[in-house]
Amino acid sequence: MGPKITVDSAGLMNKGLEVIEAHYLFGIEAARLDIIVHAQSVVHGLVAFTDGSVTAGLAAPDMKVPIAHCLFLSETEHDRRAPARLDRHGQLTFERPDFDRFPALRVALDALRAGHGLPTV
């Protein structure tokens, strides 16, 4: 997410919306989606395979690459960036979300699991 902290990112509501998006965009069952908090914002997504391995999508801690993919998806020439320098980020940590501290995240997940029109509401 980068250095700007917004109301939605501070409350992790944006993560709840991303889970809802993943469900609808990729047709993944709500029960198969999970949230892990990664404060360094270098790992932008994880995919777990049936053999137990996990693949991570790593990039600079900003939204420039995802936005460029959306804007220039059909073009071969777009913003070319240097690979993420993992040695400059120190340790990468992961933890479970604290639903007591971030109740908006629980609301988003409950809405997704309830289904029907609730995620839209």
Contact 92, 42 (CB under 8 A): yes
pLDDT for the residue numbered 40: 85
pLDDT for the residue numbered 3: 56
Tokens coding 36: 């892990």
Residues 19 and 52 in one domain: no
Prediction pTM value: 0.68
Residues 69 and 109 in one domain: no
Residues 88 and 99 in one domain: no
pLDDT for the residue numbered 111: 93
pLDDT for the residue numbered 51: 97
Q: What total number of domains does the chain contain?
A: 2
pLDDT for the residue numbered 35: 87
Residues 47 and 87 in one domain: yes
Residues 47 and 30 in one domain: no
Output the tens digit of pLDDT for each of the chain's 121 residues.
455 555 556 678 888 998 999 899 989 898 888 888 888 888 888 888 999 999 998 887 777 777 777 777 666 555 566 777 778 878 889 999 999 988 989 999 999 999 888 888 8
Contact 40, 92 (CB under 8 A): yes
pLDDT for the residue numbered 76: 54
Unique residue bearing structure tokens 């700007």: 4
Residues 59 and 88 in one domain: yes
Residues 52 and 85 in one domain: yes
Positive or negative: CA dihedral 61, 62, 66, 72: negative
Helical spans, DSSP H, in 11-63: 13-26
Distance CA 93, CA 33 (A): 19
Residues 87 and 110 in one domain: no
Residues 46 and 78 in one domain: yes
Strands (E), 9-111: 43-48, 54-58
* Owning domain of residue 73: 41-92
Residues 61 and 74 in one domain: yes
Residue from 17, 38, 15 nearest 84 by CA = 38
Residues 49 and 16 in one domain: no
pLDDT for the residue numbered 109: 92
Residue from 81, 83, 51 nearest 64 by CA = 81
